[in-house]
Amino acid sequence: MDKNNPIADKKFENTSPLSMTREEMLNLTNKASEILVDHNLNFASQDAWDGEFSDGLAKIFMTDPPEDGQNIDEVLEQVTQKIFPYSLNLAHPKCFGFVSSSPTWPSVIADFLASGINQNVCTWLVASGPSQIELTVIEWIRQWLGYPDTAGGLLTSGSSAASVEAFVVARESADNPSRATVYMSDQTHQSIIRAARVIGITAENIKKIPSDDKFAINVNLLAEAVAQDVENGFQPLLVVANSGTTSTGAIDSLDWIADFCESQNLWFHVDAAYGGFACITERGKRLLKGIERADSITLDAHKWLFQPYEVGCLIVKDLQNLESVYSMRSDVLQDTVWGKDHPNIANRGIQLSRTFRALKIWMSVQIFGMKAFRDTVEQCFALAEKAQHYIQNSSNLQLLSPAVLSVVCFRFNPENLNLSESAIENINRSILVRVFWDDHAFMSSTMVSGKFALRICMVNYTTTWEDVKETLDAVESFGTEALESS
C-alpha cells in the first residue's frame, strides 16, 4: 500500500447508493405518472382549496431525516395524502383566487423532461440547443408585443425577479443617480415596490400616485409629482405602468406615459405580469396599445399563457442595455466565448445557473398551435364579461369594478336595504369564509375604492360558465343566510 496516497489501492465501484436500476426508475416514474394523470383528469371532483394548521403538519413532517431509505409506495402515499391536498388546486375550474392558471399537459411533461435531462441554460457552449429554444420563445414574445428588432430578453423565475433585473438596467442607464425616485400607481403590485427597494431606492423615494375612477394611474398627479421632485432636487428615474393590475385588471394610459417618459428622459417600465399575454389576441393588442413603447416589460407565462411555475419573462426594447449591465468576464467561463453572434443568456440577467424554462412554452405551442391559445384567452375575456352582466342583473350583487381583462370585483349588497358599510363588509367576509370551507370554489378578496370586495379572476382553460355561475349563486346563497342570521 502506498502510505503517501491512502486511496491509491482503494477499489471504486461503478454503482452509487443514489443510483437506481432501469426497472426501479420506470417503476417510480410510472407510479408518479399515474398520480399526475389521475389528478389532471379528476381535479374537478376535488375541492379548489384545502388547508391544514401548521401544528398538525409539523407533527407529521418535523422529524429527523431517515438514515436508511423508505419504501417508495409509503413515500408516495405521504406525498399524495399529506402534502398535495393541503394547497390551492390551481387547475380546478372553480379556482378564481389571485391569478391562478392551469398548466397544459405538454408543458408539464416538458418540465419533467427538462428536469430529467438537467441542462444548465447559461451559455451557448453548454446548452446550444436549449439556448436556441429560449431565443425562439423570446422572439415570439417580442413579436406578440410589437417590440422592435432591437428588443430581447430572457426567461426568469417570474416577474418579481424580472422587475429587479429591469430596474438595475434603468438605474445603470441613468448613471446611478444618488437621489433616484420611482413612480407607480397605488394599484401596483408589491413586487414592484420590493424591486425598487432591492436596487437601493429608499422608501420615501418610492412614490405611489393615486389612481383614477378606472383604477389607472392619475396621469396629472404623476406629472405634478415628477415636477415637484425635480424642483426639490430629486432625480426621477423610472415610471412603472400597469398592464393588468392584480386587484381589478386595470390598465394604465400606456401611450400617455410613454410620451411623458420620453419628454422627461425617464425609463418606462410596464408590469404586465398578469395581462401581458393578452397581447396574443386582437382584443388584447387594442387594450395594451402603447406597451411596445416601454423600455422594459415583465410578463408571467405561468399566468395567462397556461404554463406551470416558474416561468416569467423580462424583455427590453434595446437588448444592448441589458447585456451591457449583466455581461461580465470570468476566467472560469472563458471557454464559453464560442464564435461570433452566439449569445450567452446568462449575460442578460442575474442567474448563471438556469433551468430550461423555455421548453414548456415551446412544446405546448408546438403541440396545440397559437390558435388554441388565442381562443382560450378570448374565452377568459368572455367569461369575465358574462360574470359582469350576471352581477349587474342581480338584485343581491353589486359590481365594484368592470371586467377590463378577466377580473371582476363585486360584493353581496342587496338593493333597497341600505346596509352600512361595516355590515356589508362583515357579511362579505363571512361569505368568503363559507366559500373556502363549504363550497368547491376558491376566490380571493381585495379592496376597491376602500370597500372590501370579492374578486374572481378567470385565467384557467378548464373553467366554464357553469363553474362561474355556480360560484356566483353560492355567494348569493351564503350572503342571504348571513343576512338572515344577523
pLDDT (0 to 100) of residue 13: 60
* CA separation for the pair 257, 344 (Å, rounded): 33
Q: Which three cell numbers stand for residue 206?
A: 418610492
* CA separation for the pair 228, 61 (Å, rounded): 55
What residue spans in the chain does CATH classification 3.40.640.10 cover? Answer: 119-368
Under CATH, to which class is 22-50+87-103+371-486 assigned?
A: alpha beta
pLDDT (0 to 100) of residue 43: 81
pLDDT (0 to 100) of residue 145: 98
pLDDT (0 to 100) of residue 342: 85
The sheet carrying 235-242 orders its strands as 152-156, 312-316, 296-300, 267-272, 235-242, 180-185, 206-209
* CA separation for the pair 151, 145 (Å, rounded): 10
CATH 3.50.50.60 assigned to 119-368: no
* CA separation for the pair 94, 463 (Å, rounded): 7
| Model pLDDT for residues 405-424, shown as the tens digit of each residue | 999 999 999 998 999 999 99
pLDDT (0 to 100) of residue 2: 60
What residue spans in the chain does CATH classification 3.90.1150.170 cover? Answer: 22-50+87-103+371-486
| Model pLDDT for residues 359-401, shown as the tens digit of each residue | 999 999 999 999 999 999 999 999 999 999 999 999 999 999 9
Q: Which three cell numbers stand for residue 406?
A: 378577466
Which of 302, 315, 272 is CA-nearest to residue 405? 272
Low-confidence ranges of the chain (pLDDT < 70): 1-14, 330-340
